[in-house]
């Protein structure tokens, strides 16, 4: 344990987690670094300036965001090689997690620069801590904005034995929840984490089948930034291969392979991926 302040280290890129809402969530170590670093690179310098002012910190700022990350990273690596210390902060939370920062880190590592994480707030960790989810989970970040691509991405993970965690913006949350219901079914549970650590923080858990009605019940339910946590699928009983083969053989006479496997999963209760493999085998045999 360290009781003394820990200032920024020369020639080191510090990846600093900052509050996702409540400014008091910032760590003393993060403040040590921000107070002593030679340069702070920020996703939005105006947002970061507000945080610095709140803690009486004066620092030199430069912008690094999704549109200039590659070129800005090159300049920052030159600064680091000259022995200066650099901190990178996104607008909120931990950089590089559905925020800029990953390309900067990759470039710094390739250049042999020392990188030091300063842990702290993360919307993913905050939501999971109150979700009551046991076992493995899969973080999807922000799903695709276009409906067809979004549904395709959800179909790719629908049968995986993991809880799913994703971010969503207020103007798309209804569409995304509708797609979650269509692709995953209504029995899995969903936790809405809305405006986490902010004044109007709200958590609501329900079955996916009930989620659209909850969103529609109150305009406030659709406001703010969201973290959605969806439970893992229920464990399916082992498929009866003889019955599955019989059902697939009938369906394959009329339907394409993928559609036959999907319908066979609904009819038999088996896993779609397993039935798809079985359907492939049947095709090869015939």
Supply the CATH number for residue 222's domain.
Answer: 3.30.950.10
Q: Are both 128 and 113 inside the same structural domain?
A: no
Structural domain includes residue 2: no
Structural domain includes residue 68: yes
Structural domain includes residue 24: yes
Supply the CATH number for residue 116's domain.
Answer: 3.40.1010.10
Mean pLDDT by 10 residues, the chain (286 residues): 85 98 96 98 97 97 96 97 98 96 97 98 97 96 96 93 97 98 94 97 97 97 97 71 84 85 80 80 80
| Structural domains of the chain, count | 3
Positive or negative: CA dihedral 241, 244, 250, 254: negative
What is the token pair recorded at 252? 């394959």
What's the CA gap between 110 and 262, in Å, rounded?
44
Q: How far is CA 231 from the centre of its chain?
A: 15
Structural domain includes residue 235: no
The predicted pLDDT at position 239 comes to 52
What's the CA gap between 275 and 172, in Å, rounded?
33
Q: Are both 115 and 147 inside the same structural domain?
A: no
Structural domain includes residue 1: no
The predicted pLDDT at position 96 comes to 96
Q: Are both 222 and 133 inside the same structural domain?
A: yes
Structural domain includes residue 5: no
Other Cβ atoms closer than 10 A to 23? 12
The predicted pLDDT at position 262 comes to 81
The predicted pLDDT at position 42 comes to 98
Between the alpha carbon of residue 61 and those of residues 21, 37, 77, 86, 191, the distances in Å are: 21, 10, 15, 10, 37
Q: Of 9, 10, 29, 8, which Cα lies nearest the Cα of 18?
A: 29
Q: Are both 56 and 144 inside the same structural domain?
A: no
Decide which of 121, 149, 173 is a domain's last residue. 121
Q: Are both 94 and 158 inside the same structural domain?
A: no
Q: Are both 133 and 107 inside the same structural domain?
A: no
Structural domain includes residue 236: no
Decide which of 79, 105, 121 is a domain's last residue. 121
Structural domain includes residue 6: no
Neighbouring residues of 232: CB distance < 8 A, sequence distance ≥ 6: 133, 135, 136, 137, 161, 162, 163, 188
Q: Are both 110 and 143 inside the same structural domain?
A: no
Q: Are both 200 and 128 inside the same structural domain?
A: yes
Decide which of 121, 143, 159 is a domain's last residue. 121
The predicted pLDDT at position 275 comes to 81
Domain that holds residue 262: 241-285
What's the CA gap between 267 and 161, in Å, rounded?
20
The predicted pLDDT at position 209 comes to 96
The predicted pLDDT at position 258 comes to 84
């Amino acid at each position: 344990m360290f009781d003394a302040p820990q200032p920024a280290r020369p020639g080191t890129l510090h990846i600093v987690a900052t509050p996702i809402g409540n400014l008091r969530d910032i760590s003393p170590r993060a403040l040590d670094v921000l107070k002593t670093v030679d340069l702070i690179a920020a996703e939005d310098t105006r947002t970061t300036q507000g945080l610095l002012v709140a803690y009486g910190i004066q620092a030199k700022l430069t912008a690094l965001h999704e549109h200039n990350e590659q070129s800005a990273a090159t300049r920052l690596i030159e600064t680091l090689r000259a022995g200066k210390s650099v901190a990178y902060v996104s607008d909120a939370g931990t950089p590089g997690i559905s925020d800029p920062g990953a390309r900067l880190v990759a470039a710094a590592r390739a250049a042999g620069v020392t990188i030091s994480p300063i842990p702290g707030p993360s919307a993913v960790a905050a939501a999971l801590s109150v979700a009551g989810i046991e076992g493995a989970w899969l973080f999807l970040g922000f799903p695709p904005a276009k409906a067809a691509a979004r549904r395709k991405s959800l179909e790719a993970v629908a049968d995986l034995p993991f809880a799913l965690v994703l971010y969503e913006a207020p103007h798309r949350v209804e569409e995304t929840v509708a797609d979650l219901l269509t692709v995953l079914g209504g029995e899995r549970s969903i936790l809405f984490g809305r405006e986490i650590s902010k004044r109007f923080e709200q958590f609501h858990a329900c079955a996916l089948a009930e989620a659209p009605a909850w969103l529609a019940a109150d305009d406030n339910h659709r406001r703010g930034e969201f973290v959605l946590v969806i439970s893992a699928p229920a464990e399916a009983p082992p498929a009866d291969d003889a019955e599955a083969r019989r059902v697939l053989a009938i369906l394959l006479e009329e339907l394409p392979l993928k559609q036959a496997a999907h319908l066979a999963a609904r009819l038999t209760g088996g896993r779609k991926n397993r039935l798809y493999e079985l359907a492939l085998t049947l095709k090869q045999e015939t």
